[in-house]
Chain A
Amino acid sequence: MVGPNLEGGVPPGPGVVDQPRVGVDEWVANVDERREAQKGLTGLVRRAWEGVPPAGRLVILLGPFAIFPFFANEGNLYRYGLITVVYALLALGLNVVVGFAGLLDLGYVAFFGFGAYLYGIMASGHSGHHLQAEIAIPIAVVAAALVGLLLGLTSWRLLGDYLAIVTLFFLQAFVIFVNNANGGPSDFSYPFVGRVDLTGGANGLDQIDPLNFFGYHITTTKGYYFYTLISLALLMTMLYFVNKSRTGRAWRALREDPLAAEVMTMPVNRLKLLAFMFGAGTAGFTGTIFGAVQSGAFPGDYDVGLLITIYAIVILGGLGSIGGVVIGALVVNGAPELLRSSSNARFLFYGVLLLALLVAMRPWYRPVVVLLGTIAFGAVVRVVVAAAWPRGTAGHVQGGGAFGRALDHWVLIPTHVDRIAGWAYFVLILAALVLTLVRGWWRTIALIPTLYLASFVWENKLVEQVSGATRLILLGALLVVIMNVRPAGIFGTSRVEIV
């Protein structure tokens, strides 16, 4: 007999061949698709994307990068193109450590710096050596991986949380070291060789040679751009293969359940170490590129700020998602660049607010109500304040443009703003937190003064430091929000977790 016969109310005995039970098993088999289909447009895009063969996906992702140089000038190519690709490479390496193997590596950019500095020591006017790239690069990569090995071995017995702290400390140590290892009086005096200027100290290691492959020097931004892009494409391809292979499966198993993996023949600690070393090597490789591109290695480049940026890329792109990293790099690198000018930043800020409103509030009339309400509220407040306290509106919006001028008449810009701005910032944070606690129409109503306050804080405070502190503030907030809303990252697939 084939298939269950439930007519008699008696379940079939064993030995009955189990065919997909229509209805029940279809549901089970489709559970994966139903999870995605729920999201409407996003689900459609995702399924279309998964239908494209991998090679095609690579072309779609990197195609725009390949043609970008023909549309951009030198400056933009460097800022938006080369830096993005470099960050993508870095993020890809970190993705292996964090996304594949689940290790929190907080010293990652130290390996990046290590690669740059080591390359500089091997090939620069500063050090006097001029090794060719085909020798120097492998040395840098292997050396970085070895340092990763040593670092990983120290927390061998508890690779995990402790690795986070060891690596963070390593980054600090690295920064201190390269800032001071210039052979000067505050530096070490080494046995046999005495004082050595290894890193140029706070001024950095300058005059790094361009990459020199068998006599061919890469000297143009375009040249480095394509070199980096090709490296990125190759790495993405190789990681794609790894994901489907023995090691990739083992990494995924270890991320799922390290204990079960260990008991299923996988040497968990060794695999973690391998991932860690792989990340270190990738970072070292990217370091050689960066050092050559900048013709120098400077301590300030390899610090916590960069670490957060790369983490943001990995998180945004989705832990474990190879393609997502590229998009993450675009977003995370592109946005701050756009933020450099106040008027651009302003567009971005209000634009994101608007977008968030539209996306988060479902019935269409709600965002409209909020928007109109905010404008009205602002206008009223402005009029009242102008009458009661003229100094409150005497200042002017920074940056110009039509939008800026319009805002000038709407937002409160007091002339001596510092104290108030500080308190306003504090109140804004409280208001935002309160917003997450209330629901329904209360939330809609509370949004109105909050948005006005946000605009106030932006125009009076945040806009000053757009490329510095503000950027990092927003990045930090972004990390917290993403983790709360979508822990797998934007392009990662939502995972079922063993609690």
Chain B
Amino acid sequence: MNWSLFFGELVSGLTLGSIYALIALGYTMVYGILKLLNFAHGDVYMVGAFIGFFVLQWLGGPLTTAVTGWLAIAIMFVVAMLGCGALGVGIEIFAYRPLRNAPRIAPLISALGVSIFLQNSALLLWGPQFRSYDTFDLIGVKSYHIGRNFFISNIQIFTIAASFGLMAVLTWLVARTRTGKAMRATSFDREAAEMMGIRVDRVISFTFFVGSALAAAGGVMFGIVFGQIFSLMGFTAGLKGFTAAVVGGIGSIPGAMLGGFLIGLTEAFATGYLPGGSTYANLYVFALLIAMFLVRPSGLLGSPVIQKV
């Protein structure tokens, strides 16, 4: 048994999974509150990664920066999260809000349109080529090891820890604050919430803000971990993020986290172990999705929705 391969894939999977989890959170929150599949979410993730990239450049580029390494990273995160938060709110206001009472399919088509628009705008403005984050020198990659076979780098630790941290903040937000309560109420019954005095529009905007900010964080993290970003990265990542949300149970925040890790681990172990691994890794994730639908459609931690007749 090749333990170093095993642990290597494990850590890879968890790192990748953290990023997927961040994307999944945005999907699950929006679906919970609006019953909408926000296809544009993956592209918000991509925009976040690019904002981070441009901030990095503005601060002087990947090798040296005007401020210390970790501060630069922090600034990248903050700007990307705020920028994408605003983007998410804007998308909601212009593409989804007018369609709140339209037939179910209308906001979905609109979401598709926004996704295509964002993707190709990025292509047009920034080109299809890969852009290098290359923050490795900036941060100073260090690799830690336990025993002879378990290696983990500081970047990977950072990613997993940061994801957990953000998810913890989100969970606290939803469970303990008034806004969180308003969010839960709105996702349960929007009309009733409105009648109870909750400013539903604001709650929804806030949800989009938070979800998009998390996706942006994921995007910047992707750039840091993998070193490169490109205009079309949002599409598959968004797909997997949504799969993660569904697998974990859509509408459930811990479910999104769990789903994210599951998808990440599946991809990593498929690459390492299964036939046709790296080429067909996405196929295996797809197979996982199908399996989940057959066995437990409401997801691992989700609850079936009851429709009042």
Contacts and interface: CB of A to CB of B under 8 A. Distances in A.
Direct contact of A and B (CB under 8 A): yes
Interface of A: 98, 102, 104, 106, 154-155, 157-158, 161-162, 164-166, 168-170, 172-173, 176-177, 180, 186-189, 259, 304, 308, 311, 315, 319, 421-422, 425, 433, 436, 461-462, 464-465, 468-470, 472-473, 475-480, 483-484, 487-488, 495, 497, 499
CB-CB nearest 5 A-B residue pairs: A479-B113, A476-B117, A476-B116, A480-B113, A487-B106
Contact of A476 (B114, B285, B294): B114
B1 interface: no
Contact of B286 (A169, A188, A315): A169
Nearest to B128: A469
Given A166-B293, A187-B276, A484 B110 contact: yes
B105 interface: yes
Contacts of A470: 120, 124
Contacts, number: 153
B37 A480 contact: no
Contact of A480 (B110, B275, B276): B110
A203 B280 CA distance: 18
Interface stretch (B14-22, B162-170, B208-216, B235-243): B235-243
Interface stretch (B66-74, B95-103, B177-185): B95-103
Given A311-B112, A478-B113, A186 B276 contact: yes
Contact of B293 (A106, A154, A304, A475): A154
B12 to A, nearest CB: 19
A495 B103 contact: yes
A311 to B, nearest CB: 7
A477 B117 CA distance: 6
11 contacts: A169-B289, A173-B282, A187-B276, A461-B125, A469-B121, A469-B123, A470-B124, A473-B121, A484-B99, A487-B106, A499-B101
Contacts of A154: 290, 293-294
Interface string B263-303: 00000000000011011101101100110011001000000
A138 to B, nearest CB: 28
Contacts of B102: 483, 487, 497
B37 A164 contact: yes
Interface in B115-141: 115-121, 123-126
A317 to B, nearest CB: 13
B282 A176 contact: yes
Contacts of B115: 476
Given A315-B109, A319-B105, A476-B118, 12 more contacts: A104-B108, A154-B290, A157-B293, A164-B37, A180-B279, A186-B276, A188-B276, A433-B90, A468-B123, A469-B124, A479-B112, A483-B106
A436 to B, nearest CB: 7
A12 B123 CA distance: 71
A487 B293 contact: no
A468 B280 CA distance: 28
A99 B66 CA distance: 56
Contacts of A476: 112-120
Contacts of A478: 113
A229 to B, nearest CB: 28
A188 B275 contact: yes
Given A470-B124, A472-B116, A487-B102, A169 B239 contact: yes
Given A259-B307, A469-B120, A484-B99, A479 B286 contact: no
A433 B282 contact: no
Contacts of B294: 154
Nearest to A151: B290
B286 A170 contact: yes
Contacts of A98: 105
A498 to B, nearest CB: 10
B121 A425 contact: yes
Nearest to A499: B101
Given A158-B297, A165-B246, A487 B121 contact: no
A468 B231 CA distance: 14
A309 B297 CA distance: 31
B85 to A, nearest CB: 16
Contacts of A468: 120, 123
B110 A188 contact: no
B94 interface: yes
Interface in B71-103: 90, 94-95, 98-99, 101-103
A259 B308 CA distance: 11
Given A483-B99, A487-B102, A472 B120 contact: yes
B30 to A, nearest CB: 12
Nearest to A471: B120
A417 to B, nearest CB: 12
Interface in B205-263: 235-236, 239, 242-243, 246
